[in-house]
């Protein structure tokens, strides 16, 4: 069963997908995403793979007959795809070359364009869950793309606040954030010609990095080839620094925030960025999202981001040394 159920308290839809309870954990000695499995080509660099257990589908089943005038249901329309980063089972994002990550960005862009063609899709979200702490069941390096038939609540809230800021100040909120972080300097982790990576003033995770475009662009489709290469470089460097923090694979949730599709024009006030939600606060300590965070959305960071950004900058230097780039 897969359907959408409306939460009238929040004005948002909940995805119900009992089929995902059957998702397999990685069997020993076998990976469906590795060449030779029979599930993927024997030769590929990056690859789109149709999700075997989609929560959203272009041909969704009819919802269960449980709706009322208060409790609404609708079909779980949309699309779910898996994006394989590499045929190498053990190579994660920071271990890939900038050229290889460039191919990944091209594939992300291609899939964004393709999903935008369906007028029923309203938001395309590109994301990655990395590490067992984030519930990953298939360790082969991969991310996912979901196309939603609505703009989810968190993204609506972000869009509304960006629009409000622009109406009040005549400027883009993310552009202003970039200026604040560049002026303050201490929260900046990595910077190149076209992107800046920092632990923003307000993040609720000790290492909750944002990667933000310096130019006012709204989506991957807006970037030049040079900007895409800069994005590939800063993705590699930022995640590489994370892996040097605690000398272990650093778990994170990475989400690309782009303009909605098939909706209002948000070009004046919205701005492309990537958000990381890493669950670790120390090497063996989880930053739990506890009752007040979940019940009230009252975020509580357990560290001053000026301190954690410094640790990430130091880890970045160790990563450059490891790569032989110093």
Q: How far is CA 185 from CA 9, 18, 42, 282, in A?
A: 40, 46, 46, 23
* Closest by CA position to 17, among listed 58, 65, 55: 55
**Residue pointed to by tokens 């069941």:** 137
What is d(CA 98, CA 292) in angstroms, rounded to the nearest whole number?
40
**Residue pointed to by tokens 């975020």:** 299
Residue 165 sits at the vertex; the CA angle it makes with 163 and 171, to the nearest 5 degrees, is 100
DSSP notation for 111-178: HHHHHHTSTT--EEEEEEEESGGGT-S--SSEEEEEEESS--HHHHHHHHHHHHHHHHHSS-HHHHHH
- Determine which helix (DSSP H) or strand (DSSP E) holds 321, and give its type and residue range: helix 305-323
Contacts with 253 (C-beta within 8 Å, 6 or more apart), sequence order: 127, 128, 129, 130, 134, 276, 277, 278, 279
**CA end-to-end span of the chain, whole Å?**
54
What is d(CA 231, CA 98) in angstroms, rounded to the nearest whole number?
9
* Closest by CA position to 207, among listed 284, 312, 97, 295: 312
142 is a catalytic site residue? yes
How confident is the prediction along the chain (326 residues), in pLDDT tens digits per residue? 789 999 999 999 999 987 555 555 666 678 999 999 999 999 999 999 999 989 999 999 999 999 999 999 999 999 999 999 999 999 999 999 999 999 999 999 999 999 999 999 999 999 999 998 888 888 899 999 999 999 999 999 999 999 999 999 999 999 999 999 999 999 999 999 999 999 999 999 999 999 999 999 999 999 999 999 999 999 999 999 999 999 899 999 999 999 999 999 999 999 999 999 999 999 999 998 889 999 999 999 999 999 999 999 999 999 999 999 98
What is d(CA 303, CA 250) in angstroms, rounded to the nearest whole number?
18
Spot the catalytic one: 142, 165, 166, 194. Answer: 142
Torsion of CA 212, 55, 96, 182, to 10 degrees: 10
What is d(CA 234, CA 109) in angstroms, rounded to the nearest whole number?
17
DSSP notation for 11-29: TEEEEEEGGGGGPPPPPTT
The pLDDT value recorded for residue 25 is 61
- Determine which helix (DSSP H) or strand (DSSP E) holds 306, and give its type and residue range: helix 305-323
CB 256 within 8 A of CB 127: yes
In the chain, where are the structural domains located?
Answer: 2-323
Q: What proportions of the chain, in percent to the nearest 5, are helix, strand and coil?
A: 35, 20, 45
**Into which CATH architecture does domain 2-323 fall?**
2-Layer Sandwich (3.30)
What is d(CA 17, CA 56) in angstroms, rounded to the nearest whole number?
8
CA atoms in the 13 A half-sphere facing the CB of 158:
16
What is d(CA 316, CA 324) in angstroms, rounded to the nearest whole number?
12
Number of helices (H), then strands (E), belonging to the chain: the values are 6, 14
Q: State the burial class of residue 101 (Cβ atoms within 10 Å of its Cβ: 0-12, 13-18, 19+).
A: buried
Q: What is the pTM (predicted TM-score) of this model?
A: 0.95
């Amino acid at each position: 069963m897969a359907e959408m159920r409306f939460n009238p308290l929040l004005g948002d839809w909940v995805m119900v997908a009992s089929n995902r309870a059957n998702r397999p954990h990685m069997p020993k000695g076998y990976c469906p995403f590795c060449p030779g499995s029979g599930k993927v080509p024997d030769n590929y660099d990056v690859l789109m793979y149709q999700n075997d257990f989609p929560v959203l589908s272009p041909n969704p089943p009819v919802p269960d007959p449980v709706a009322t005038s208060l409790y609404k249901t609708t079909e779980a329309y949309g699309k779910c795809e898996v994006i394989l980063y590499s045929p190498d089972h053990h190579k994660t994002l920071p271990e890939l070359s900038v050229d290889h990550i460039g191919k990944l960005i091209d594939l992300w862009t291609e899939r964004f364009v393709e999903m935008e063609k369906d007028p029923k899709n309203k938001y395309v979200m590109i994301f990655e869950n990395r590490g067992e702490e984030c519930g990953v069941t298939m360790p082969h390096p991969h991310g996912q793309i979901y196309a939603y038939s609505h703009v989810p609540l968190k993204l609506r809230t972000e869009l509304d606040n960006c629009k409000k800021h622009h109406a009040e100040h005549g400027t883009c909120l993310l552009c202003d954030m970039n200026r604040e972080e560049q002026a303050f300097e201490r929260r900046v982790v990595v910077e190149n010609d076209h992107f800046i990576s920092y632990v923003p003033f307000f993040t609720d995770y000790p290492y909750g990095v944002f990667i933000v475009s310096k130019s006012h662009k709204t989506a991957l489709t807006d970037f030049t080839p040079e900007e895409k290469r800069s994005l590939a470089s800063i993705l590699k460097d930022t995640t590489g620094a994370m892996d040097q923090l605690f000398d272990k694979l650093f778990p994170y949730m990475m989400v690309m925030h782009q303009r909605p599709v098939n909706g209002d024009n948000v070009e004046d006030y919205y701005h492309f960025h990537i958000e990381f939600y890493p669950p670790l606060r120390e090497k063996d300590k989880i930053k739990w999202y506890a009752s007040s965070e979940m019940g009230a959305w009252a975020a509580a960071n357990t560290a001053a981001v000026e301190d954690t950004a410094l640790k990430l900058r130091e880890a970045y230097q160790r990563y450059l040394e490891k790569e032989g780039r110093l």
